[in-house]
Amino acid sequence: MSGLEKSIHIKTFGCQMNVFDSDRMESILVRQGYRKEADLAKADVLLINTCSIRDKSEHKVLSLLGQLKPLKEKYPHKVIGITGCVGQRMGRALLQRVAHLDLVMGPDGVERVGELVEEVVSRGRRVLETSFDNQKERSYSQPAVIDKVRPSEFLTVMKGCDHFCTYCIVPFVRGREKSRPIAELLDDVRRFVDRGTKEITFLGQNINTYGKRTGESLAELVLCTNEIQGVERIRYVTSHPRDLGMDLIRQFGQVEKLCPALHLPFQSGSNAVLKRMARLYTREEYLEKIAALRAARSDIALSTDVIVGFPGETDQDFEQSMDVIREVGFSGAFLFKYSPRPGTRAFEFGEEVPDSVKTERLAHLQEVCFGKIHEENKGLVGSTVSCLIEALDKKGRYYTGRTPHGKLVHVLNAGEACIGKILDVEVTEGNASNLKGYYVGAPRQDRTRDSEKAVSA
Ligand code: SF4
């Protein structure tokens, strides 16, 4: 049986890298003759692209798999597959545990998804693919099948990670670092720009060491991208404080299209905890990098990740994380309770911090951190910010976009035609998680979807 007339649905959990992988899988399967199906229950092939960074993410996947059992019993011809990090981590055990699962594959199987699905469809076999590819570098072109223009695109430039932070599952499920060649990435960027994209965010688990085995570098990639006509904004994520070198730091003051925003996770403000996490820097070194970034670009917006309740974290350790939050004044933050991941070193550490303590610490951290962000956002009221309009927000109310500093903006008088445009927006409201405002030069009339309908009715 060929893919012709059959439909696929890919459900994606986790990070932007997974979104990118899902686009690639979809692209491969569509080229093979599959039709995209928006309704998961109606698709002939259902792939769930998964994340295993936290325990909770895995539970969501397993719970969805449970819900799909009756569907598979009713329509046994349907193919159900798990791809991505949970597939890699659980592998054969997942196939054994879930009888209605046909395919389990890890992130390195993306390019082979077509043949793997075909093997299930045509031979009726259950398939497991969790081997890592051993090429020195990775090569593939960006997804060809995209429904609509995305003003802001993510582009995966490398995979894997050579660090082994003791809490992290990534090196086990995504393997060692492998970078894509710059020339190929620039071709991808040009294709995005030709379709109307204005902002590119390069993605890598430890992006600062992009190209280290191939003699290329992130600084070089940024410089070359800056030269491409039509690119208006460049960003990259995720940086590691030890690997963020002065060449990259200086670029924030030198490269025109590089946005003044950087995500730099510190994870803990305590040197003792950082050591147990094997983060390879101290709190002092982290703060030195922050000072260098601000010296290079005084208005740079910094965001971070913090883990609370890492094994053995004392009240004093936690206070040191609070100090860093207070001292730096981040513009954005992802704050998490430590989640033990089987297979990592920290899983064996013991000295588990009780969940009630983790919850209390997290709440305290959130209050201070998000309070500061709220103050910063309120301080922007009355100013004019530049905003690239990306889409209607999730609730379908406002057209939204981001400033070069990465602030999310709901533009109250923007309509569909504004998507892909960079507008000057006067900020009228600063909330904890977003700004609201009106774009300058247009009537100040709220154009939520409902009011648009009302106008056109
Ligand atoms: S650098 Fe990031 S991806 Fe790599 S092991 Fe540490 S936390 Fe995980």
Say what the pLDDT of residue 454 is: 30
- Report the share of the chain in percent with pLDDT over 70: 93
Looking at residue 105, what is its pLDDT? Answer: 94
Q: Where, residue-wise, is CATH 3.40.50.12160 in the chain?
A: 7-129
CATH 3.80.30.20 residue ranges for the chain = 152-373
Please report where in the chains the tokens 């986790």 appear, as a residue: 14
Residue of the nearest CA to atom 8 in ligand 1? 168
Residue minimizing CA distance to atom 1 of ligand 1: 163
Question: Which residue would you say has higher pLDDT here, 109 or 3?
Answer: 109
Residue 20: what pLDDT? 87
The CATH class of 152-373 is alpha beta
Residue 160: CB within 6 Å of ligand 1?
no
Q: Is 68 in the pocket of ligand 1 (CB under 6 A)?
A: no
User: What is the Å distance from ligand 1's center to 206 Cα?
Assistant: 7
Cα 389 to Cα 67: distance, rounded to the nearest angstrom: 37
* Cβ of 209 below 6 Å from ligand 1: no
Mutate to test the pocket of ligand 1, among 51, 52, 53, 161 (most ligand atoms within 8 A of CB): 161
pLDDT > 50? residue 328? yes
The pLDDT value recorded for residue 455 is 31
CA 93 to ligand 1 center in whole angstroms: 25
d(CA 354, CA 364): 16
Task: Say if ligand 1 is within 6 A of residue 170 CB.
Answer: yes
Cβ–ligand 1 distance for 206 under 6 Å, the answer yes
What average pLDDT does this structure show over 432-436? 94
CB of 166 sitting under 6 A from ligand 1: no
457 pLDDT band, cuts 50/70/90, is very low
Residue 43 confidence (pLDDT) above 90: yes
Tally Cβ neighbours within 10 Å of residue 273. Answer: 23
| pLDDT for residue 95 is more than 70 | yes
Say which CATH architecture domain 384-456 belongs to: Beta Barrel (2.40)
Average pLDDT (68-84) is 94
77 CA distance to ligand 1 centroid (A)? 39
pLDDT score, position 146: 57
Of the given ranges (10-14, 343-347, 351-355, 452-456), which has the lowest mean pLDDT?
Answer: 452-456
pLDDT at residue 2 greater than cutoff 90: no
Q: Of the ranges 105-109, 244-248, 370-374, which one carries the lowest mean pLDDT score?
A: 105-109
Of the listed ranges 126-135, 295-304, 372-381, the least confidently predicted one is 126-135
Q: What does the alpha-carbon distance between residue 233 and residue 152 come to, in Å, rounded to a whole number?
A: 9
Average of pLDDT values for 164-177? 90
Q: CA 325 to CA 272: how far, in whole Å?
A: 17
Query: Residue 450: its pLDDT value, please?
Result: 47
* 267 CA: nearest ligand 1 atom: 7
Confidence category of residue 143, pLDDT binned at 50, 70, 90 = low
* Rounded average pLDDT over 386-400: 91
For the domain covering 7-129, report its CATH number. Answer: 3.40.50.12160
Question: What is the pLDDT of the chain when averaged over all its residues?
Answer: 91
Average pLDDT over residues 358-369: 97
Give the confidence band of 57 by pLDDT, cuts at 50, 70, 90.
Answer: confident
Distance CA 53, CA 338 (A): 11
Give me the pLDDT at residue 1, please. 44
